[in-house]
Amino acid sequence: MDKRSRAKMIHSILDEYYPMVTCTLDYENPLQLLLATQLAAQSTDVQVNIVTKDLFRKYRTMEDYAGANIEELEGVIHSTGFYHNKAKNLKACCMKLLTDFHGQVPATMDELISLPGVGRKTANVVLGTIFKVPGIIVDTHAGRLSRRMGLTVHEDPAMVEQDLMKLLPKKYWTIFSHRLVAHGRAICNARKPLCQQCNVRPYCVYGLKNVEY
């Protein structure tokens, strides 16, 4: 079975187990999702959702972030890690949204990645969730599973993204990303994947090599 066929089989199996998955970050508007996704770098969605309860209550508008005292902002987001850079980027991102985008979260990849703190992962989360523009979202789970399953050999998220885009129809890109994340959390964890419980195993390079039948 070639790589494209295996990818389709893997997605079909994950579809059965995770039919309704979506972004697990809490948000009420595009700005909140944009900022929450930035905070999720090197953190967990669970922790970010705890932090954003207070963050979104304290800072309600782009103007609030743009005019924020950086030390106060750092204090609110401290527990997400890398809070110095994250606070600086949240503030600068909102300043640029106000000056360059008329206070609107843009709807294209090029515009989104022009914002401070926004890479392709964050942009694809926003595009896929808010604007329904399909994209491969490569977080640590998606990257790890893609390598284990033999869908890519790359560590660089941008290269993983390009590889997966070639294997599945565009309409499945966003949902496949979410299903990889869900499977990574439930079964294919980083330290000790539960290969014996995994129905993807017959199509997974790692599972076939490391599990005795």
* DSSP secondary structure string for all residues of 63-88: HHHHT--HHHHHHHHGGGS-HHHHHH
DSSP for 163-193, please give it.
HHHHHS-GGGHHHHHHHHHHHHHHTS-SSS-
7: left (phi over 0), alpha (psi -120 to 50) or beta: alpha
Alpha carbons 205 and 130: distance in angstroms, whole number: 34
Written out in words, the top-level CATH class of the domain with range 30-129 is: mainly alpha
Over residues 100-140, the pLDDT tens digits come to 999 999 999 999 999 999 999 999 999 999 999 999 999 99
**Cβ contact 131:107 at 8 Å:** yes
* Active site residue ranges: 121, 139
Q: Closest by alpha carbon to 92, among 64, 65, 56, 60?
A: 65
What pLDDT sits at residue 1? 84
Residue 211 is predicted with a pLDDT of 65
Q: Report, as an integer, the average pLDDT of 200-207.
A: 94
Interatomic CA distance for residues 148 and 90, integer angstroms? 34
Given this model, what pLDDT does residue 194 score?
Answer: 95
Taking residue 42's Cβ as centre, other Cβ atoms within 10 Å add up to 10
Token pair recorded at residue 174? 């966003």
Integer Cα distance of 109 and 6 in angstroms = 28
Residue 213 pLDDT > 60, yes or no?
A: no
Domain ranges, ordered by start, for the chain: 3-21+136-210, 30-129
Instruction: Report yes or no: 150 and 3 within 8 Å, Cβ to Cβ.
Output: yes
Q: What is the rounded distance in angstroms from the CA atom of residue 53 to the CA atom of residue 26?
A: 9
Q: How confident is the model at residue 210 (pLDDT cuts 50, 70, 90)?
A: confident
> pTM for the whole thing?
0.93
CATH number of the domain located at residue range(s) 3-21+136-210 in this protein: 1.10.1670.10
